[in-house]
A and B are shown apart, each in its own frame.
Chain A
C-alpha cells in the first residue's frame, strides 16, 4: 500500500502533497483539545499495524486498519496517518518522504469516507447492524485505498488492467481480515466504552 519513491510522476506527487496539506490543516483546526490523546493512540496503532504481514500471491500485503481509525477519529485521521506514515518512512523505509503526501491521502481519504458513510450506524442501537457495518467499514476502507493506489499508478502510466487485477486480488484477503478485526474492535468498544464512538 505504500508507494515507494521514484515511481510516481511529479504531477501526481504534487497533487498528493497539496491535498494532504489542505486536509491536515483543516482537521488540525477542527481538532479539539481533549481529542488529542485518542489521535495519538490510534496513530500508534496505524504505525504498528503496517508491520503485520500477510503473504498473498506475488505481492505481500499488510494490515492497514484505516477503516477503524476513520470511524474512531473522523477528520483527525489525516494527521494521525500522516505522522505514522512519516515515521514509517524514516524508520523502516516504507514508502518514502516524497510520496508521503500521496500515501497519506490514499489511506486517510477512505477512512473519512467510511466515517461519513458508516459512523451513524456503528453508533446505533442495533448490535447486529453495528457489527455488520463495522465489517463493511474495514473492508471498504482497504478497497478504496487500493483503488486510490491504482489510480495514482495509472496516472503515472502503468497499464490499467494489470494494476486493477492486482489491487483486487492482492487485497481481498486483507479486506476480509480487516473487516473481521474492525468488527471485533467495534463490538468490544461498544460494550466497554461506547462513548469513544462519538466523534
Chain B
C-alpha cells in the first residue's frame, strides 16, 4: 500500500511535543508503611500527582471494613493500627480515587505485629522473671527493656525513612519504551492475523 497513513501518528506526536505535555501512565498507586503504632499511606497518580480527598478503606483479611478516611492535600492518610485481634491476617487498604480509579495495598501481618508491641511483651515477661537486673550495669538501672525497645524503634524508623521512600519510588512502575514499542508490535501482529482471515474469506 502506497500510503501516507504513517504520517498521522507522527503528526500527532509533533503537536504533542509542541504543547509540551509530559507522557506518563494513567493509574493510581497506594503505598503504605508501618511506623511506630500507626500506618501511614501515600496515594498518587502514576504521573506523580497526589490523590487529594480520595477515599481509603481498610479491610481485614475476612473482608470486614475496619475504618475509612480521606487523603489530605499531600495524598497522605494515616491511622492507628487497629485492635490486635483484627490484624492477625494482615490488612488490605483500598484506595478509590475519582472517575473509577482504584488501587490496593496489602500489609502483611508480621509487619503489623512487630510494631504493635506483641513482641515487646513476649520478650519482656520471661526476662523479668529471670531477674536479669544484676546483669545490667548499675549506671543505667532506670532504663527498662520497654524503653530501650521504643528507643531502638524510633531510631530505626528515622533511619529507614529514606529506604522506605526508595522502595516507594521503585514501586511506581514506570512505563518503558520497550513496552510501548512492544505494544505497537502486538497491535500490528493482531491486525495481521485479522488481515489473514479476511483474505481467506475471499
Contacts and interface: CB of A to CB of B under 8 A. Distances in A.
Nearest to A88: B183
Contacts of B52: 58
Interface stretch (A13-21, A115-123, A127-135, A188-196): A188-196
B171 to A, nearest CB: 12
A143 interface: no
A99 to B, nearest CB: 8
Contact of B191 (A36, A63, A65): A36
Contacts, number: 157
A43 B187 contact: yes
A44 B9 contact: yes
Contacts of A185: 8, 11-12
Contacts of A5: 102
A53 B23 contact: yes
B202 interface: yes
Interface residues of B, number: 55
A167 B98 CA distance: 9
Give the secondary structure class of B's interface: mixed
A27 to B, nearest CB: 11
Interface string A166-199: 1100100000010001001100110011001000
Contacts of B173: 93
B196 to A, nearest CB: 9
A93 B184 contact: no
A19 to B, nearest CB: 18
Contact of B98 (A44, A59, A189): A59
B89 interface: no
Interface in A72-107: 79, 83-84, 87-88, 91-94
Nearest to A36: B195
B27 interface: yes
Contacts of A93: 27, 173
Nearest to A171: B99
B98 A37 contact: no
Interface in B36-59: 45, 47, 49, 51-54
Counting contact residues on chain A (CB < 8 A from B), the size range is 35 or more
A25 interface: no
B188 interface: yes
Contact of A94 (B9, B16, B27): B27
Nearest to B189: A40
Contacts of B93: none
A28 B197 CA distance: 10
Contact of B26 (A33, A60, A167): A60
B98 A92 contact: no
Interface of A: 1-8, 28, 31-34, 36-45, 47-55, 58-60, 62-63, 65, 79, 83-84, 87-88, 91-94, 149, 152-153, 163, 166-167, 170, 177, 181, 184-185, 188-189, 192-193, 196
15 contacts: A2-B100, A6-B104, A7-B96, A36-B194, A37-B3, A42-B8, A45-B12, A49-B12, A51-B24, A53-B25, A59-B97, A59-B98, A60-B45, A91-B175, A149-B99
Interface of B: 1, 3-9, 11-12, 15-16, 19, 21-28, 45, 47, 49, 51-54, 96-104, 173, 175, 179-180, 182-184, 186-188, 190-192, 194-195, 198-199, 202
Given A33-B198, A37-B3, A193-B5, 13 more contacts: A7-B102, A33-B199, A42-B8, A45-B9, A50-B26, A51-B26, A51-B175, A53-B22, A53-B25, A58-B98, A87-B186, A181-B12, A184-B11
